[in-house]
Structures are given as structure tokens and as C-alpha cells.
Structure 1
Amino acid sequence: MKLNLYLISFLLIAMSCKKQTETEPPSEASEKPSFSIVIHGGAGTILRENMSEEKETEYRKVLEEAIKTGHTILKNGGTSLDAVEKTINILEDSPLFNAGRGAVFTFEGTNEHDASIMDGKTLNAGASAGTSTVKNPINLARAVMEKSPHVMLSGKGAETFAEEQGLELVDPSYFSTESKLKSLERVKTKNDVSLFYDDELKASKLGTVGCVALDKNGNLAAGTSTGGMTNKRWGRIGDSPIIGAGTYANNNTCAVSSTGWGEYFIRGMVAYDISALMAYKNLTLKEAAKEVVQNKLPNIDDGQGVGGIIAIDKNGNMVMEFNTPGMFRATMNDNGELYVGMFKD
């Protein structure tokens, strides 16, 4: 009888520990993990009261599938670059996020994609902007990094390069989703250039995806992919394909992927600024991310700098910092502990 009571107590404690790792964000690592990975699916007005249980389950399912894909690669000794690329592929293929399949619509009613990737070991980087036929823009960004002498390609030239590299191309209609089309229609009814500063538009940028990873060899990598902002015009390009703003990785400091209002992330060079604060002021990743996202970014243009970042430092510490009501996010470490979050709480 006493043995049974001990057994029941042990099982209850084990279940409690497992639940905690799934619902609480990770704290700073007491020992350096051999690998770790963090993802985001966009920051914005993500409120518990506005999301149905079914929709929350959908988001959670894709976030888990994506991060487990990258985690498996890292666990099996794969590179951080492979983990970042393949993880982002899952998010790009989902219509839930503003990247790849679920990209928002431009003023002209098209879908234009931006993406970038960076290798923390070599500081090599690749990016693409304004493409509309490349199924997985993050794959194009990596091809630019590894197969061209350039860092960024755009538009038709980038699509020609993608075709030459044998990347999968699709008809532009592949990216057309009803929910994103309705968002464009709602924004357009305002019929005013000032809508670029409208709350509806701020919410419509939600969904940029990103991933940062540390592999078993101690190499960091970061990647970001997006459809930009609803109703964007004149070939607008945001921060996602800009190295130092939307993406940055350096083995000496950290790897960062950004999400939010791109114009302000560009002006603040947010991803690089976090790394620079670590390198030049000896701040921890947590301190640097908080300083940039909570203090410096919101001070640009009277609080218009909204969004968040995910990051990993060279010691495997993970950070998810945002100044919005929510951010789709997830982490996994070398112990297989999974955390998925959406809301600020």
C-alpha cells in the first residue's frame, strides 16, 4: 500500500514538471546546452479573448511541427543553417502566417515575399526581396548566400536566379488566401494614405516568421521570411531581408530574427544592435534584447516601433522579447523541453 502511494506521488510530480516545461518560458541555462532552437510566427495584437480555441490549436500545431523539425535536425548533428531553413519551410507552407503560402496582399492585389538567412560562423548572408513565384523564399535566400557572389537579389532577377538554381517555382495564385484578401479589402476601404499608420494596418503585418538556432558544433544561424505589410505600395521592402535589421547571426555574440513594423526595425538596426550591445558593452543577451525592444525601439517616432525578436546567444541562452500584446513563439532545448507561447501572459 505504502509503495503504491509513493508511486502515485512520483507520477504526479513527473506530470507537473512536464506541464511546466510546456507552459512556462525557459530561464537562463545553468549549463551550456549542446544545441537549442527558437521560432516566431509574428508579433502583434494577439489577445486571448480574440482567439477561438480551435484557432489557437491550429497555431499551436504548426508551431510545434516547425520547431520539432529543426530540433530533430540539430539532435541528429545537423547544422544550424539546415535547422533554420527547414523549420521556416514549415511556417512558409502554412496559410496561417504572413510568409510564403499565407503572405499578405499588396495594394495591387499581388503577393511579394522577402527573406534572409545568416551564418554566424562565417558572417555570410543571403537575402531576396519582392519575389512572387518562389514557393519557399528562405530557400532562395540561402541559395543567394551560397551560390552567388551577392548578398541580396530582388524581383525578376531573383526569380531568374531561383529558376537557374532549380528551386521550386509556383504560379502566383498559390499564395492567394481568402483571409489575407479580406484584410486587404478592409484596409483599402479606408482609402487614405494615412492608413500606413492605422491600427488596422499595424495588425495586418502580423505573421512574419523566423528561426534562430545553435548547433552541436557551436555555430549560430538566423533566418526570417515575410510577405511584408498589407496594402504595401511602390515595391516597398521591410526589415526581414535586411541583414542587421531583420536578421543577424555572429558566433561571438548571438543570432536574432525580428518581427514587427519593418520601417522602425530598419531605422533601429534592431538585430545588429542587440549583438553590438553584447560585444561592446558586455550586456547579456537578455539585457541587450530588453534594452533594444522595450526602450530604444519604442522611442523611435513616438512609440511607432512595435514588434519583437527571438534570439539565442553563443552559450545557448534563449530570449523572446516583444513590446506588443502577443507574439507567436516556441523554444526547444537539448533536453527536448518544449515551450509554445502566443499571448503576453
Structure 2
Amino acid sequence: MVLVVGCTQSDGQQEQQKKEWALALHGGAGAISEDRPDSVKQAYFDDLDEALTIGEDILADGGSAEDAVEKVINYLEDNPRFNAGKGAVFTHDGEHELDAAFMVGNTREAGTVTGVKTVKNPITLARKVMETSEHVMFATEGAERYADKVGVERVDQEYFYTESRYEALQRALDQEEEGDGKQSSLIPEEDKTALYADGEKYGTVGAVAVDKDGQIVAGTSTGGMTNKKFGRVGDVPIIGSGTYASDVVAVSMTGWGEKIMRAVSGHTVSSYMKYKPASLEEAGDYLLQEVLNPGEAGMIAVDKYGNIYTDMNTNGMFRGSSDSEGNREVAIWD
């Protein structure tokens, strides 16, 4: 164990024992219905538990936070229950456009991709961008060309199709036609209780981790919003917004991307911790309770000591967390 002393931090961080490792993940936040069948709820709990186990095994065996974050997100991308990879939502044009970001806080190295249509696991491509390119972000066809260059698997659009996501698009298009033509993917005030568990509105997957060597890593992957308009880019691939890691904290956001971007959410949490100074809990609460409005977002984060934060200002968030001291949780609602 390594003793870490922070003389300028708030009372909760003046002297802390660093955990050997810590991990948190999310599978989206929003107005998640508790009225769904028990079998459906249990399936989500089982999936979150399996994803958490994948990351735990890597970190407990001395593996890197980079590997833990990527493999956890790979599992969620391959799982059609979540809005990333297989099971991604449909755009207005009836396609799938995927975004992802990967960042290591200790070095501030980062890689992101946006608008990819044929990459099976966008988080893997984002990590490759970080590790093998002089650039940070690749978009659309250029990102797919880079996937070929670095050997990341490509698939047809049909791979991402699920019936429930297609039906969600049809409902969104019907609502848009009945309304004033405004983009229905941007949730109006009166519709913030839309049934996220059906994949209609919110959804993203992400993971954050700190390993035995003190590396702090954040990753996020998403299919975006149902009925999102042509060329729309959300918060996930924007470093500092939906995905961010610094030398003090790693953050992955989920929720209404436009709101998360406007708050520069990930960087806001890091700066609040570093310059106020404040604990991770204080910074997370500041973002969700004072900067963002109710119903807009969920957040997972881990700081350099291994403290974990998983909270939301929505009524639910698919999430899990674990650390080297045996603390472990899988949850959806409060």
C-alpha cells in the first residue's frame, strides 16, 4: 500500500491510503422504469455484474486500468441491452453512428472517434487512436479508414440492429411528425420521464479505473440519441465533456449529451477537485446538483486514491463499482 498525503485538499483528502485498485462502470442513466418484469430487471443486474467481474479480474491480477476499462466496455458494447455497439439506437436517417473516447489521466493522452458506422467496438478504436496516432480525434469515414490501418474489426450496419431500437425510432418519428418538427431527440421539459429502459432517449456505457501503478483511466462509448439528426456529435467523444481523466480523477458521463457538453462536465469535476480544492464526492455533487439540472445526467468517477463516485440526478442509472478492499455494488435505482 502507498501512503498519499495531500496537504492542500479538503478535510476528507488531507491524508488517505491509496487503494490498490478501484473500478466503476455505467450502462446509461435516465428515467428508468421500475415497473418492468422481474426477469428483465434481473437480466440487467446480471449483465452489470458480469461486466464488473471482467474488470475486477484484470485489476486484481495486477493488470492495467487501460485493459480493465477497454474490456469492460467491450462487453457492454457487445451486449444488445445497452446503447453502444450491438444494440445502438437509430439516427433520424435510420442508421447507426457510434462515438467513443479513451483517456489516461496521468499523461493526458487521449483518443476519440465519432460518427463511425462499421466499427464493432469503437472503444478499442479510440484506444488505438490514443496509442498509435499523433492525433486525438478521427471522424466518420476517416475513423473507419484508421480502423483498417490498425486492425480493428469492422462489421455491416445490420450487426447493430435490434428490434426494440428500431421501434423506438418509429415512435420518435411519429412524435416528431405530430409536433412542430423540432428535434425530438432533444428532450423537452415535459418529456424527461421518457422510458429510457426501452432505449428511447438516454444511453451510453462507460468505465473508469485506477490500477496498482496509480494510472487513472476513463472510457465511454455510445450510440447517441434515438432520432439524432445528421452529423450530430454528442458529449462522449469531446474530451473534457463526457469523458475526461486528469492526474486527480477519471470521469465518464451519461445522459443528455448537449447539457453535459455545455457544462464541460468531466473537466468541471476535475477542476473543482484540484483548485477549490474538494473531495470527489463534493465535486460530483456540485456538478449534478448545482451545475446540471434534475433529469439530465449520471456520472461515474474514481480519484487517484481509489475513491469511487456513482450518482445521478435522474431516477436511475445502470451502474457497478468495486475496489481492492472488497467494496462492491451493482445497482440501477437509489
TM over 0.5: same fold? Answer: yes
Of 300, 306, 311, the match for 1:321 = 311
1:192-231 aligned within 5 A? 192=179, 193-194=181-182, 195=184, 196-198=186-188, 199=191, 203=196, 204-231=200-227
**Are residues 337 and 225 of structure 1, via their aligned partners in 2, closer, same or farther at CA, if it must alter by over 3 Å?**
same
Of 26, 51, 69, the match for 1:84 = 69
What's 2:7 paired with? none
CA contact (8 A) 1:98 1:205 kept: no
The structural deviation recorded for 1:46 is 1.3
| Counterpart residue identity of residue 216, structure 1 | K
The structural deviation recorded for 1:234 is 1.8
The structural deviation recorded for 1:31 is 4.2
1:29-178 aligned within 5 A? 31-48=17-34, 50-178=35-163
Q: Percent identity?
A: 47
Secondary structure, aligned partner of 1:330: strand
Secondary structure, aligned partner of 1:255: strand
Which consecutive unaligned segments of at least 5 residues does structure 1 have?
A: 1-26
Cα deviation 1:76-127 (Å, max 9, x = unaligned):
1111111100110000000001101010000110010000010011100000
The structural deviation recorded for 1:147 is 0.9
Q: Structure 1 runs of 4+ off > 6 angstroms?
A: 27-30
Which consecutive unaligned segments of at least 5 residues does structure 2 have?
A: 1-11
CA contact (8 A) 2:202 2:256 kept: no
Alignment coverage as a number of residue pairs: 311
| Counterpart residue identity of residue 341, structure 1 | A
CA contact (8 A) 2:31 2:192 kept: no
CA contact (8 A) 1:44 1:206 kept: yes
Secondary structure, aligned partner of 1:88: helix
- Give TM-score scaled by structure 1 length: 0.87
What's 1:293 paired with? 288
Higher helix fraction: Structure 1 or Structure 2?
1
2:39 and 2:96 mapped to 1: Cα distance?
27
Q: Which one has the largest radius of gyration?
A: 1
Secondary structure, aligned partner of 2:86: helix
Matched, 1:236 2:236: no
| Counterpart residue identity of residue 274, structure 1 | V
Report which stretch shifted further, 183-192 or 236-245. Answer: 183-192
Of 323, 326, 330, the match for 1:333 = 323
1:274 and 1:184 mapped to 2: Cα distance?
33
2:325 and 2:271 mapped to 1: Cα distance?
30
What root-mean-square deviation, in Å, do the aligned CA atoms of Structure 1 and Structure 2 show? 1.8
The structural deviation recorded for 1:254 is 0.5
Secondary structure, aligned partner of 1:213: strand
CA contact (8 A) 2:16 2:305 kept: no
2:187 and 2:298 mapped to 1: Cα distance?
18
**Are residues 234 and 201 of structure 1, via their aligned partners in 2, closer, same or farther at CA, if it must alter by over 3 Å?**
farther
